[in-house]
Amino acid sequence: CAQHGRHHMYDTEFSYLDGPDLKEHATEWRDCMDAKKRARIFNEYGVRWSEFWRLPYWNPARMLVVDPMHAVLEGVAHYYSRHVLELNYTARTGDDVEKAACFTHPWPEYDSTCHPALVVPEHKRDVFENGFPRWLTTPIEGDGSILRDVIHKRIADGTTLPMLRHFAWVMNLNLPLVQAINRHLETSQGADYSGIMLQHIEGDCTRKDDYIRAILDWRMEKPRSLPDTTNSHQANPLAALTAVRSVISDAAKPSHLTTVPANFGHANAGSIKAAEWRLLSTVYIPIALCILWNDADGSSPSEKAAALARLDHAMALFQA
């Protein structure tokens, strides 16, 4: 389909890439001599050149058979459980514990039209998808919280100054550099940065610590603690993971069902196999979500409830 990126993960209306579109990207891949650009084309559109493209009627979107083991069980089901439902939080203790997110935000993607001083190498841009969102949604009050200074150190250790400048810009933070670039773009034709010197626009904000403090000031305006888990409509990943583990260990099951790790989501559970993903996605996780996201009296949530939308989304995937 034409949707890609995590900001589309909850979409239910899809537009499809058909044969001509895919052939265009496959031809671009074939004619490109740069390995990194080829990798980018494949990662973005999932297509590369094949001799089949010489057939005028060839349309892989309609003519290829989906591999259920790798594409569905170890692909879609794995991704949805790990990254959408976030059933991957460990039970370890220590400074490296993965925390549940205490708020959601439409995180902006990397913008390649940025000022030269804000350019980040392609192999380091994962920080905009997996770094900043994880660091900044960690609770700073209540259960499972960590200190602001700890978040400050994690960001400092995991970023460079251009990364911080770029993040501040795409987040439109109230900083001299961001204001100067935006004013320049409003008055110039396109992203022409000639004549705009970094040392003239950064003001007093020139070090990593300056940018991190500004980013954390923005963070302090967002929810600081995890959602109240007594409200079953809250999408708390830790509550969902606990519910799945309870179903695995406590549910009465027919004898022909094979076992799955009772500590699912823990690092010690090891790599989940395709057969285990099939059971998790068709038995254990759906039961856990129905229990977790219903109303307190056991009835179905109202049609306008966010819990019902999440449940419908999950069930549509697992029934496919």
197 pLDDT higher than 90:
no
Angle, alpha carbons 121-124-127 (nearest 5°): 135
Average pLDDT of the segment spanning 210-215? 91
* Token digits of residue 157: 């250790």
The rounded percent of the chain whose pLDDT value lies above 90 is 12
* Per-residue pLDDT at 94: 38
Q: Which residue has the tokens 């403090």?
A: 213
Tens of pLDDT, residues 248-292: 888 888 888 888 888 887 777 788 888 888 888 888 888 888 877
* Per-residue pLDDT at 95: 38
Query: How far, in whole angstroms, is CA 68 from its chain's centroid?
Result: 23
Q: CA 115 to CA 199: how far, in whole Å? A: 13
Angstrom CA distances, 12 to 62, 67, 81, 224, 290, stand at 20, 22, 17, 30, 20
Q: CA 213 to CA 270: how far, in whole Å? A: 38
Q: Do residues 61 and 21 make contact, with C-beta atoms less than 8 angstroms apart?
A: no
Average pLDDT of the segment spanning 200-209? 74
235 pLDDT higher than 60:
no
Q: Do residues 176 and 203 make contact, with C-beta atoms less than 8 angstroms apart?
A: yes
Average pLDDT of the segment spanning 132-157? 84
Q: CA 320 to CA 299: how far, in whole Å? A: 25
Tens of pLDDT, residues 16-55: 677 788 899 999 999 998 888 888 888 888 889 999 999 9
* Per-residue pLDDT at 230: 41
